[in-house]
């Protein structure tokens, strides 16, 4: 089969294959940075192997911390594949076609990172085989192992199978790149010719996997939640933990797809295929999932707060008004309320009229906020002396209110800006969602551990509170870098937007800005 | 007599008389010495408790409860924690993979983890690894009180019970219905619990612990000082 | 007169002396003898109850009555008092103990300060040591979830998981087979 030169690709295909062909210096710089972060993480892990888990901040009272947070976070993000590819496919949402592969790739990369985390958290990774030799089926960890491997296999199939026609296209016409790449395409394309029978098989597989992957995905995060739910601790001993985690996962996964969509759209100029309409629809998904997630959070915290049973009083106070209150309210206000507002308010048609209010001009507003922030920092340095004088920590008291006021002001000033740039709004919203999602997992784990049934007493210095160390942060950063790197490398070898799925029936493609119907089909 | 298991030869049980405990922590010292426990760990920990503001403050020694409905055994993925016929929850540190699920599951906080490789003394190195002595400790594994099966096999009381100068810890066999303390006092287990209204910690959680407490009524020794501050960041604690 | 007086006086003194001796002798039966030895005998009745007899004697071998006796049973770590009694006129204390008592040794302590004691061996051999890992489910009769937390695979659970997971992986196998069909159809 002679490889034809690149000019044989139509404009559309060339655009969609841009990610495979363009190798700017930016790409290499990014890969270099990611590899450096991963290398640093490996060094940190080597320290942990050598000296034991004592190099982390974990101690007897808080035996799970950042690693398990990462585990829950990454497995959570991985649910988006099932959502986008399977659920949207079954409901016939045709607009999903350009973004399904991105979603599946996110699932794949994040499952790999997520599945890695419990092994990093183990005290004796050299005894890994014991899980297979002496595994107890009654333990939630075994359920985790079984369901994550099942989901990983299913996701890999679900990622690979729709790629076959595209790989066949690359095999036929992509002459660029080293020989190994052409061999890879030849092997992976499974001799695809586009015949009727082959298409039939492909459609059958897709239909089966779409139905199969949904219960598997739901079971994955449910059993992940049950490593907490099956204990007696206050805060974890909750019946709705399973569904709560599933919807939290879908929420943060959908937001991750929005971020990925924006990133690839900008980097490879895919404006025609990932349009504002896609962002709008993904926005609806994020809003809907956010509302459900907020409902679950409300139920999860209001129900024990109404009763304030003795066992739960400690962690509820810590979360609402105590040690973890800033984190908790950030995850709810900054992680759910703010993104939903950012996705909805800018679309209101009279938003630009806000610019007429002089106070809400963006530049003066930003300048004022910056000045206030600087003043607050200075005040916080000076304040300890005033507190000693007056006995009342004025800075402590007014800080939340000042921050809230400034935040609202800034928000209102930026709304007209976002009205003109809905995709920017969507990106800001999705990044906030994911950052807050990570901290929310932290807030689920640590406050409960800090408030056990029997009080924490006679703990050596530093064993009374969880203080993560550089090892844990390095490994977290390395996991994130690994996730991004896998995704990036994937986009370099395979087209990130499905060529053949977006080719079919132009009438089904959503109408976005400046797009014409009836692009030449090659 | 509650013989619950056909082949049950023994069912170890412990009674701690809170009226006699004076918080000297000799039990902790003896346990730490006998098992060469690494610093920072206490397999029997004496808490200063006060159930409610109007209640009395008292000292509460807390060993592993060897529960009959053990949360730790349920969640261990490799069966490194299992319940023996005589009621003791044994810990196999050769098999433990260090996932710490049992630490998360235990509501009494009775389990400890070897976060680093503990320093071993010469004396320790001479002893072989024995699951009933628990003298050799391995990095990255979980350990806890196991009611000293090596001593009990020889007819001696566990280290904590033996070391208590007040005779507050009684230990014995529920099948024999007799518990003994360090003063040589042997009493009927069922009678002692009935007379003094013995209770168990966190009974509502349904873990069915095998350690009973006698309420600190007409206490013989002074109560602990005013309720201690909960451990805060960086503060040294007693 | 003096001679009559002195003879009467001597007779009075002798009479008094005899009186004292008589009093002294008669006082002896009223005072309890010191227990010097106690013997324990055990008899097993047909229904399995143990009849325990403790006999307290003094140094001369005579029975001592009215002495408190405490009967104790050997437990793993000490001696458990099971019965108390006072010796009757023949120096015996008899107690019947129920058959469920798993006793290896029985002791009797006699006297106000438990000065004398003796013990007797009864009962079967040694107790079987528990197995290193339970040969059967040690929790089966105890736990509210009898089978669920067993260290050993529970048939229902394994069956259920096998069916569900097996079904899923079988479907994966079918999918892979379909993929191979794609490959064949060139």
- A205 closest CB neighbour out of C149, C153, C175: C175
Q: Which of B48, B141, B231, B235 to probe by mutation at the A interface, max A CB count within 10 Å?
A: B231
Burial A227-254 (b: 16+ CB within 10 A, else e): bbbbbbbbbbbbeebbbbbbbbbbbbbb
Phi, psi of A451 (to 5 degrees): -130, 70
Distances from the Cα of C2 to the Cαs of A149, A158, C5, C10, in angstroms? 131, 144, 5, 12
The set of residues, in sequence order, having a beta carbon less than 8 Å from that of A350 and lying 6+ positions away, is none
- C130 closest CB neighbour out of B85, B155, B175: B85
Spatial CA neighbour of B43 closest among A111, A458, C108: A458
* pLDDT value for A512: 38
The conformational region for residue B218 under phi > 0 = left, psi -120 to 50 = alpha, else beta, is left
Report the distance separating Cα B27 and Cα B61, nearest Å. 8
Tell me the pLDDT of chain C (186 aa) as tens digits.
Answer: 556 678 888 888 888 888 877 776 665 554 456 777 888 888 878 887 888 888 888 888 888 888 888 888 888 898 889 888 888 888 888 888 876 556 678 888 887 777 777 777 776 656 677 776 765 555 555 555 555 566 667 788 788 889 999 999 999 999 999 998 888 765
Residue B168 tokens read as 């507050």
* pLDDT value for B12: 94
The conformational region for residue C123 under phi > 0 = left, psi -120 to 50 = alpha, else beta, is left
Give per-residue pLDDT as tens, B5-51.
344 578 899 999 999 999 999 999 999 999 999 988 999 999 999 88
* Residue B135 Cα, gap to closest chain C Cα (Å): 17
Report all structural domains of chain B as residue ranges with CATH numbers, in order of start.
12-214 (3.30.70.20)
Contact A127 B42 (CB under 8 A): no
Contact A131 B114 (CB under 8 A): no
Does any CB of chain B come closer than 8 Å to the CB of residue C125?
no
Give per-residue pLDDT as tens, A228-268.
999 999 999 999 999 999 999 999 999 999 999 999 898 88
Does any CB of chain C come closer than 8 Å to the CB of residue A186?
no
Phi, psi of A275 (to 5 degrees): -95, 175
* Residue B43 Cα, gap to closest chain A Cα (Å): 12
Nearest CA in chain A to B98: A123
* pLDDT value for A393: 62
How many CB pairs lie under 8 A apart between chains A and B? 165
Contact B78 A458 (CB under 8 A): no
Taking contacts as CB-CB distances below 8 angstroms, the residues of chain B near C140 are 5
Contact B68 C143 (CB under 8 A): yes
Q: What are C39's strand-pairing partners? A: C55
Give per-residue pLDDT as tens, B76-135.
999 899 888 888 999 999 999 999 999 999 999 999 999 999 999 998 889 988 888 989
Residue A336 tokens read as 């759910």
Nearest CA in chain A to B229: A457
Report the distance separating Cα C175 and Cα C172, nearest Å. 5
> In which order are the strands placed within the sheet that holds C92-97?
C35-44, C50-58, C92-97
Q: Which of C70, C71, C77, C105 to probe by mutation at the B interface, max B CB count within 10 Å?
A: C77
Taking contacts as CB-CB distances below 8 angstroms, the residues of chain B near C75 are 172-173, 176, 178, 180, 186
Taking contacts as CB-CB distances below 8 angstroms, the residues of chain A near C148 are 138
Neighbouring C-beta atoms of residue A113, cutoff 10 Å:
23
Spatial CA neighbour of A274 closest among A20, A6, A509: A509
Positions in chain A whose pLDDT score sits under 50: 1-6, 505-522
Contact A150 C165 (CB under 8 A): yes
The set of residues, in sequence order, having a beta carbon less than 8 Å from that of B68 and lying 6+ positions away, is B83, B87, B207, B208, B209, B210, C139, C142, C143
Report the distance separating Cα A425 and Cα A403, nearest Å. 21
Distances from the Cα of C16 to the Cαs of A517, C9, C19, C26, C145, in angstroms? 149, 10, 5, 15, 88
CA torsion A82-A85-A90-A95 (nearest 10°) is: 140
Does any CB of chain B come closer than 8 Å to the CB of residue C182?
no
Contact C178 A154 (CB under 8 A): no
If DSSP codes are grouped into helix, strand and coil, which group holds residue B223? coil
Contact A212 C171 (CB under 8 A): yes
Report the distance separating Cα B58 and Cα B50, nearest Å. 6
The residues of C whose Cβ lies within 8 A of any Cβ of A are 148-151, 153-154, 157-158, 161, 165, 168-169, 171-172, 174-176, 178-179, 181-186
To 10 degrees, what angle do helices A310-320 and A422-450 make? 140
| A286, A451 contact by CB (below 8 A) | no
* Residue C31 Cα, gap to closest chain B Cα (Å): 33
Report the distance separating Cα B130 and Cα B128, nearest Å. 6
Does any CB of chain B come closer than 8 Å to the CB of residue C130?
yes
Q: What is the ipTM of this complex?
A: 0.89
């Amino acid at each position: 089969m002679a490889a034809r030169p690149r000019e044989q690709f139509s404009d559309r295909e060339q655009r969609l294959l841009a990610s495979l062909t363009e190798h700017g210096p930016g790409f290499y710089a990014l890969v270099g940075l990611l590899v450096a972060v991963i290398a640093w993480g490996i060094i940190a892990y080597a320290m942990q192997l050598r000296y034991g888990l004592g190099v982390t901040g974990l101690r007897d009272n808080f035996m799970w911390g950042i690693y398990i947070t990462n585990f829950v976070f990454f497995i959570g993000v991985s649910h988006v594949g099932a959502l986008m590819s399977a659920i949207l496919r079954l409901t016939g949402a045709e607009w999903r076609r350009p973004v399904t592969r991105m979603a599946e790739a996110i699932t794949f990369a994040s499952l790999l990172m997520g599945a890695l985390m419990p092994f990093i958290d183990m005290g004796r990774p050299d005894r890994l085989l014991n899980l297979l030799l002496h595994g107890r089926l009654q333990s939630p960890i075994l359920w985790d192992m079984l369901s994550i491997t099942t989901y990983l296999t299913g996701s890999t199939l679900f990622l690979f199978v729709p790629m076959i026609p595209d790989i066949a296209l690359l095999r036929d016409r992509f002459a660029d790149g080293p020989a190994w790449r052409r061999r890879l395409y030849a092997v992976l394309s499974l001799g695809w010719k586009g015949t009727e029978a082959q298409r039939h098989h492909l459609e059958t597989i897709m239909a089966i996997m779409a139905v199969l992957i949904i219960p598997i995905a739901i079971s994955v995060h449910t059993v992940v939640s049950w490593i907490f739910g099956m204990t007696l601790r206050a805060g974890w001993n909750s019946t709705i933990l399973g569904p709560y985690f599933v919807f939290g996962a879908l929420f943060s996964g959908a937001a991750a797809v929005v971020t990925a969509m924006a990133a690839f759209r900008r980097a490879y100029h895919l404006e025609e295929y990932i349009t504002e309409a896609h962002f709008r629809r993904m926005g609806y998904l994020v809003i809907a999932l956010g509302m459900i997630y907020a409902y679950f959070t409300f139920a999860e915290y209001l129900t024990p707060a109404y009763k304030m049973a003795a066992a739960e009083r400690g962690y509820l106070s810590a979360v609402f008004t105590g040690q973890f209150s800033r984190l908790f309210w950030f995850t709810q206000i900054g992680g759910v309320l703010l993104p939903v507002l950012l996705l909805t308010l800018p679309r209101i048609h009279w938003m630009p009229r806000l610019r007429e209010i002089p106070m809400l001009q963006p530049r003066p507003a930003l300048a004022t906020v910056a000045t206030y922030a600087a003043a607050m920092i200075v005040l916080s340095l000076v304040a300890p002396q005033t507190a000693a004088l007056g006995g009342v920590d004025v800075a402590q008291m007014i800080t939340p209110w000042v921050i809230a006021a400034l935040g609202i002001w800034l928000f209102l000033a930026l709304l007209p800006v976002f009205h003109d740039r809905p995709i920017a709004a969507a990106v800001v919203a999705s990044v906030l969602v994911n950052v807050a999602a990570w901290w929310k997992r932290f807030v689920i784990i640590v406050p409960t551990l800090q408030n056990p049934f029997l009080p924490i007493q006679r703990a050596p210095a530093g064993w009374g509170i969880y203080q993560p160390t550089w090892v844990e942060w390095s490994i977290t950063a390395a996991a994130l870098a690994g996730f991004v790197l896998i995704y990036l490398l994937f986009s370099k070898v395979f087209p990130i937007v499905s060529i053949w799925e977006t080719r079919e029936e132009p009438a089904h493609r959503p109408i976005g800005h400046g797009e014409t119907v009836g692009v030449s089909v090659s | 007599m509650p013989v619950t298991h056909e082949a049950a030869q023994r069912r170890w049980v412990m009674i701690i008389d809170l009226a006699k405990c004076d918080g000297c922590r000799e039990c902790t010292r003896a346990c730490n010495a006998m098992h060469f426990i690494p610093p920072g760990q206490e397999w029997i920990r004496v808490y200063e408790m006060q159930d409610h503001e109007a209640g009395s403050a008292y000292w509460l020694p807390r060993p592993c409860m060897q529960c009959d409905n053990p949360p730790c055994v349920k969640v261990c993925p490799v069966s490194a924690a299992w319940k023996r016929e005589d009621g003791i929850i044994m810990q196999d540190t050769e098999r433990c993979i260090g996932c710490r699920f049992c630490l998360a599951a235990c509501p009494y906080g009775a389990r400890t983890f070897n976060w680093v490789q503990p320093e071993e003394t010469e004396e320790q190195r001479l002893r072989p690894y024995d699951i009933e002595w628990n003298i050799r400790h391995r990095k990255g594994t979980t350990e806890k009180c196991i009611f000293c099966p090596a001593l009990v096999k020889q007819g001696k009381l566990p280290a904590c019970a033996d070391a208590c100068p007040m005779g507050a810890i009684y230990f014995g066999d529920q099948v024999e219905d007799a518990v003994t303390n360090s003063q040589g006092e042997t009493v009927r287990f069922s009678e002692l619990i009935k007379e003094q209204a013995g209770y168990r910690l966190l009974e509502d959680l349904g873990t069915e612990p095998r350690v009973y407490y006698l309420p600190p009524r007409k206490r013989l020794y002074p109560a602990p000082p005013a309720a201690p501050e909960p451990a805060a960041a960086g503060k040294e604690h007693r | 007169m003096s001679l009559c007086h002195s003879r009467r006086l001597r007779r009075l003194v002798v009479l008094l002396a005899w009186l004292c001796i008589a009093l002294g002798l008669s006082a002896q039966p009223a005072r309890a003898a010191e227990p010097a030895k106690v013997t324990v005998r055990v008899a097993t009745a047909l229904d399995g109850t143990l009849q325990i007899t403790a006999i307290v004697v003094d140094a001369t071998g005579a029975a001592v009555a009215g002495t408190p006796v405490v009967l104790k049973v050997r437990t793993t770590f000490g001696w458990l008092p099971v019965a108390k009694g006072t010796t009757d006129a023949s120096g015996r204390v008899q107690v019947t103990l129920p058959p469920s008592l798993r006793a290896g040794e029985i002791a009797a302590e006699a006297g106000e300060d438990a000065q004398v004691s003796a013990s007797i061996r009864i009962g079967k051999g040694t107790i079987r040591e528990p197995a290193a890992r339970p040969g059967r489910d040690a929790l089966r009769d105890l736990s509210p979830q009898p089978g669920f937390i067993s260290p050993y695979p529970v048939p229902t659970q394994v069956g259920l998981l096998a069916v569900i997971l097996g079904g899923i992986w079988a479907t994966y196998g079918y999918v892979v087979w379909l993929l191979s069909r794609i490959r064949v159809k060139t």
